[in-house]
Amino acid sequence: MQPIYPYKWLITSLFLIFLLPSCRKHDNGATPDTGGKNVNDSIFFVFKDIYLWPDAIPDSATFRPSSYAATTSMFNALKQYKKDDAGNVMDRYSFLDDGSTSRALQQGVVGDIGFEVGFQTATTLYVVYVYPGSPADKAGIKRGWKLAAVNGVSQFQQDQATNTLLNNALGGKSATFGFVKPDGSTQQNTLAAVDYKLNPILYANTFNFNGTKVGYFVFNNFVALSDVKTGIDSIYDAWSKAGVKQLIIDLRYNGGGLIETAEYLANKMVPAARNNTEMYSQYFNNNVNTNTYSSYFTNMKAVPYFPTENWTDIFHSEATTYKTAKFQKQGTLDLSRVSFLVTRNTVSASELLYNVLKPTMTTTLVGDTTYGKPVGFINISFGKYDMYAVSFQIKNSAGEGDYFKGIKPDIKQIDDYTTDWGNLNDPILRSALLDMGIPANQLGRSAKMATDRVGRIPVNNLQSTKFKGMIQTIRK
C-alpha cells in the first residue's frame, strides 16, 4: 500500500465566492480609506445592499457608521444584529481582511513555518498536520509527533497563556521546538517563517484489503483550481485505473475556500448518470435579485476584473444567470460510495462538497459535527480593506443547506493526533473503513487510545487556516 505522495505545488481552500488575484489593493470606485470616516459609510451602505440578511441591519441614521473611530469596530458591530431563533448571533462568518486571504487562496502563497498543533489531552500537544514544502516539512516534522517544548517552555494546558505562546511561536518569525517521535526519540528544531507555495494535498493512498481497493485522500484547503487540478487529476486517474470503488475524503481541518475547486472535486466523484443535473443553487437577498441598490454600490466599478462594468451587474448575474450550478462529470472514476472524515474544523467549501454529493450517491460522515457555514462571500475592496460580507447561501439539489449549527456525523468518533496519515490505528479512519465493510482482522490490532483525549486545535495559527468561508469565482 504505497502512498501517492502529494504534489509540492498544489493549493486548495474554503467555501468562498470571489477571490482577488493579488494582495495589492485596487481602485474599484469606492471611497479610499484615507484615515477619515468616508470608508465607514461606503462599507456600511454596500454591506447593507449585499448582506444576506439586510433587514436585520438598521438604517444609517440609527447605526451612524461615521461615529466609529475604527472601521474594524464598526464592521464587527454590524455583524451583531442578525440573531437566530434563540437570540444568538448568527454571523460568525463576515470579516475585514488586509489581503492575506487573497494571497493564500488565489496566489497560493503563505509565510509561516508550516505546521499546526492540537491538544490530544488537556495537557499534551501533538502535531496535527504539516504543509509540504514548508520549513517544518523540510525539517522532517510529521503528524503524530508530540510537542515537548516551545522556546524552552515544556508545560502546556488549555489556557490563554498556552494559546499566546503557540500563536507567537507558530505565527512569528522564528521559534525553537522540541519534539518526541512515536518511537520515543527526540528532535529539536529552530524554524524560521518563509514564503512558500501552499500545498493542500497532505496525503493520498490506495489501500488494498484482499482485493478490495479503497482510495484515501487528505485535502486541507480549497484554493485556485488552476494550481491544484493537475495533482487531483493524477490521483483520481490512478484510482480509476486501479478499479477503486470506495473513497475516503479526509477534510478534518479544511476551512474551505474557492467553490470552483469544490465543484471540480464533486465532478470527479459524482456518478456519470447524474451528469448535467443540479449540483446546487445559490440564494441572494432581494436587493441583488431585483438589482436595486444604494447609490454607493450602484456607482462602484468592478476594477480590476471588469473595469467597464459595475459590481451591481456582477452580483445580479450571479443571482440570476448563474444561480444554479450543474454537475459536469470529470474523469472515469466510478464510485459506489464516499466517506467524509470531518471535525469542528471542517468548514464551508468542505461542507458544500459533502452536501452536494449527498443526494447523488451513498455518502457517510465520520467524526464530529462540522463547523456550520452554508453561506459565502463576494469580496470587495475598500482602500486597504477587503470586505467579506455574507452574500449568499447555497443549497443542494434536495433543497438542503440550513446547517448553520453544523452537520452531525453518521458515525461519531473523537479525533486523535497521535497517528500519522494513513495509519490504520487512526480511530476516525478505522471507523470509516469498518463502515465500508473491511473486516477488523484486515486492519490489524487497534491500538489503545487515551480515554481523556480531547482532539482540539486551540488556535488557528497558519494564515491559510484562519479563513472560514466560501468564495465563488466570478463567471460573467
Query: Per residue in 404-419, pLDDT tens?
Result: 999 999 999 999 999 9
Residue-averaged pLDDT of the chain: 88
- Structure confidence by residue, pLDDT tens digits, 359-376: 999 999 999 999 999 999
Indicate if the pLDDT at residue 462 is higher than 50.
no
311 versus 6: which is more confidently predicted?
A: 311
Looking at residue 28, what is its pLDDT?
A: 39
Assign 110 a pLDDT band (cuts: 50, 70, 90): confident
User: In this structure, what C-alpha cell is assigned to residue 195?
Assistant: 514564503
- Between 166 and 21, residue with greater pLDDT: 166
Binned at pLDDT 50, 70 and 90, residue 476 comes out as low
Higher-scoring residue by pLDDT: 4, 154: 154
Question: Taking a C-beta distance cutoff of 8 angstroms, is the pair 462, 114 a contact?
Answer: yes
Residue 102's pLDDT is what? 66
> What is the residue-wise DSSP string for 237-304?
HHHHHHT--EEEEE-TT--EEEHHHHHHHHHHHS-GGGTTSEEEEEE--HHHHHT---HHHHT-EETT
Mean pLDDT within 417-437: 97
Is residue 267's pLDDT more than 90? yes
pLDDT of residue 268: 98
In contact, 16 and 263? CB cutoff 8 Å: no
Q: What is the pLDDT of residue 21?
A: 28
Q: What is the pLDDT of residue 97?
A: 85
More confident residue, 475 or 289: 289
pLDDT at 353: 98
| Maximum mean pLDDT: which of 12-21, 203-212, 298-307, 463-472 | 203-212
Residue 174: pLDDT above 90? yes
Fold of 113-197: Pdz3 Domain (2.30.42)
d(CA 369, CA 387): 28
How far is it, in rounded angstroms, from Cα 163 to Cα 139? 23
Q: What is the pLDDT of residue 470?
A: 75
**Overall average pLDDT of the 245-260 stretch:** 95
What are the structural domain ranges in the chain? 113-197
pLDDT of 103: 65
- 327 confidence band (pLDDT: 50, 70, 90): very high
**pLDDT over threshold 50, residue 277:** yes
What gap in Å lies between CA 300 and CA 340, rounded to an integer? 41
- DSSP character at residue 440: G
Indicate the pLDDT class of residue 469, thresholds 50, 70 and 90: low
pLDDT one-digit tens code per residue, 185-202: 999 999 999 999 989 999
Supply the pLDDT for residue 32: 38
Region 48-77 average pLDDT: 96
- Measured CA to CA, the distance from residue 13 to residue 26 in angstroms comes to 23
Q: Are 449 and 427 in contact (CB under 8 A)?
A: yes
What pTM did the predictor assign?
Answer: 0.89
Lowest mean pLDDT among 30-34, 44-48, 287-291: 30-34
Q: If you average pLDDT over residues 98-117, what whole number do you get?
A: 79
Using alpha carbons, select from 282, 221, 276, 225 the residue that is nearest to residue 253: 221
The pLDDT of 77-96, averaged and rounded, is 95
End-to-end CA separation in angstroms for the chain: 45
Segment 7-35 mean pLDDT? 32
**Residue 419: is it exposed, middle or buried by C-beta count within 10 angstroms (0-12/13-18/19+)?**
buried
Residues 98-119 have a mean pLDDT of 81
The answer on pLDDT for 27 being more than 60 is no
Residue 300 has pLDDT above 70, yes or no: yes
What is the Cα–Cα distance from 19 to 200, expressed in whole angstroms? 17
